Amino acid sequence: MSDMFQVIVFAGTTEGYEISRFLSEHGVSTYVSVATEYGTRSLAPGPCLEIAHGRLTEPAMEQLFRELSPSLVIDATHPYAAVVTESVKQACSSTGIPYYRILREEGRRAEDAVYVESTEEAVRFLSQTEGNVLLTTGSKELKAYTALPDYKERLFARVLSLPEVLLQCTDLGFVGKHLIGMQGPFSQELNEAMLKQFDCRYLVTKDTGKSGGFQEKVDAAFHCGVVPVIIGRPLKEEGVSLPDARKELGRRFGFAVKPHVTLLGIGMGDEKTLTIEGREALKEADLLIGARRMADSVRMPHHQVLYEYRADVIASYIKDHPEYQNVVVALSGDVGFYSGARNLLNILGEDTRLICGISSVVYFMAKIRLSWDDAKIVSSHGRYCNLISLIRFHHKVFSILGTGDGVKVLSRKLTAYGMGDVLLYVGENLSYNNEVVFSKRAADLTDYEGDPLSVVCAVNPSPESYPATHGLPDEAFLRGRAPMTKEEIRTVSLSKLMLREDSVCYDVGAGTGSVSIEMALRASQGKVYAIEKKEDALELIRQNKVHFAADNLEIIAGTAPDAMAGLPAPTHAFIGGSSGNLDAIIEMLLARNPDVRIVINCITLETVSEALSIVKKIDFQDVDIVCISAARSKSVASYHMMMGENPIYIITCQRTTYEQNN
């Protein structure tokens, strides 16, 4: 035995073992006293942890305290070990050593249960009843139940599987199937199986709290139509819970308490889609965090719960509550599939554990018997996603929706763009009792109202090939009298813009919308705003939008720059017509985004002069000017003659250089 220990812990319970490990892991020298040799099996000795077994009298406790001179004695004994608790208190009082009691949380009071004050009262109650009884109170008070005249037939005793315990029970007359030697705590399912196996009408238990599996016993009893008989605790004590004890001990001994945090993908929500690893993590957790639907679907009786989904609030709460040792954050589906885990990891750090779950795409695609390895997988829940473009160019598109009218809105758009034959597989409330899975043509779902908790898989029987480059032929567009940027000029201008998939683009002076359409195709997951003042041109843009199913193109009627007010900040802008407002247009573009990339088409020398004057005035680092002269062949009799188009000046400008942007 060491000469001195900082803390003496009277254990023998889950709380006692946990606080002993906690102290030793943080370098606090701890002496643990348990009543039996069996109790030592739950702990392993270490540099800061010594374990002894044997029942101590009050004088023996006083002698131990004087020998070891601890700064604190922790009583973490069983709530029904009233005699031991009184002895520890008195020994601390006699030696002047601070006494610290860790209380086991009481279970929720069950309205239809029978509550008694003692074992003797439980026996008196059972003597007035008929039917088999499962005793789960251990072996110490088992002798009292032999007062029942038919106890050998009615009673089934579940006790520790120790030879001396089993021998003691056998001597009392509990033999064969009436004696069950097992180590707890037990799951609700196992308790139910035993109650059914022995055709029990009553279950006797003590309120051993969450660590002793109390709630699992009571829930099993009610599920099987069995009456719980609950023996109340002998003492009404003052003390602290295990989480609060960790917090106070960390403060007392000067060490920081850092919890183990797990981000858990819980699957669809029903417990059947929770993995075994996930269930084990939940059993170990003392704090569960998550949005209400997620947290409630996996909550266990022993959990403290925080209903929260915002990453910064979750991180702050964990930091401010070090009393929780094992924290689980419940996240829908899988932690790597459109999950809040991404933001949480950035805040909580690399030592955060991740446990994967079953994602909605895996679950749903199995339900509809389709592979998902060749599907385009996206989410339009709380984010912009151009599903129309994806469905137009892909055979299969899976998306999380997240709104009750999501299917209706998608179906109406598909139908309006000539894709009403697309087959939509719809899934709602996946894995729950009210799960809905069906499939119909988009044209048949234009009035459908569903559940916000939904997903969709669109199957396009004849998807189009996605254009690898810009430069659609002029003949592909619907044309009228409105001016149109010709194919060759459009191709070079789009090249100079250097669009990205998620770009936000302005087409100022859009004309027929040929540049707008090509922008929308290239920036398929971005947004394009076609700004045009002439009504005939606006109608052509509308027709071309439908013709090319450019759902990410928004038409803005009016004259720039006034018509640009209120639009999202652009990343790119094409100016094909300015109505004499070029200076004001560029000024507003730069005010919205100082790093916007601008391409200007100039056909007159006056516009070229104005544009160059503006470029010189503004601190553009990247300036590029090209003049394009194109000629097209025209058949004259049996000959081909080249007919020249007007030369166009293409001016590109941006405040940062290409290297800085890449």
Question: Which sequence spans correspond to the domains of the chain?
Answer: 7-101, 114-231, 258-358, 362-459, 474-661
Q: Of the CATH numbers 3.40.640.10, 3.40.50.300, 3.40.1010.10, 3.40.250.10, which one belongs to the domain with range 258-358?
A: 3.40.1010.10
Residue 237 has pLDDT above 80, yes or no: no
**CA distances to 472, 630, 636, 640 from 643, in Å:** 20, 9, 11, 9
Q: What is the pLDDT of residues 103-120, one digit of tens each?
A: 877 666 667 889 888 899
Three-point CA angle 152, 157, 160, nearest 5°: 140
pTM for this predicted structure:
0.68
Q: 107-132 burial, b if ≥16 CB within 10 A, otherwise e?
A: beebeebbebeebeebbebbeeeeeb
At 505, the pLDDT band (50, 70, 90 cuts) reads: very high
Q: Yes or no: say if 406 and 400 are a contact pair by the CB < 8 Å rule.
A: no
Residue 270 has pLDDT above 90, yes or no: no
Q: Tokens at residue 412, please?
A: 């109406």
Helix (H) or strand (E) holding 539: helix 535-547
Q: Do domains 362-459 and 474-661 have the same CATH topology?
A: no
> Counting beta carbons within 10 angstroms of the beta carbon of residue 134, is it exposed (0 to 12), middle (13 to 18) or buried (19 or more)?
buried
Q: What is the pLDDT of residues 428-463, one digit of tens each?
A: 999 988 999 999 999 999 999 999 989 999 999 999
Q: What is the pLDDT of residues 386-421, one digit of tens each?
A: 999 999 999 999 999 989 999 999 999 999 999 999
pLDDT at 244: 84
Cα separation, 385 vs 501, whole angstroms: 11
CATH code of 114-231, in short, is 3.40.50.620
Q: Judging by DSSP bridges, how do beta strands 622-628 and 648-654 pair with one another?
A: antiparallel
Which residue has tokens 């001994």? 253
Q: What is the pLDDT of residues 462-483, one digit of tens each?
A: 998 887 777 788 888 888 776 7
Could you tell me the sign of the dihedral formed by the alpha carbons of 329, 332, 334, 339, in that order?
negative
Would you identify the CATH topology of the domain 7-101? Rossmann fold (3.40.50)
Cis peptide before 647 (omega within 30 of 0): no
- Could you tell me what percent of the chain has a pLDDT over 90? 64
pLDDT at 234: 65
pLDDT at 484: 81
Q: What is the pLDDT of residues 174-220, one digit of tens each?
A: 999 999 998 877 888 999 999 999 999 999 998 776 666 888 888 89
Mean pLDDT of the region 60-71: 92
Residue 660 has pLDDT above 80, yes or no: no
Second CATH level (architecture) for the domain 474-661? 3-Layer(aba) Sandwich (3.40)
CATH classification (class only), 362-459: alpha beta
pLDDT at 324: 86
pLDDT at 1: 46
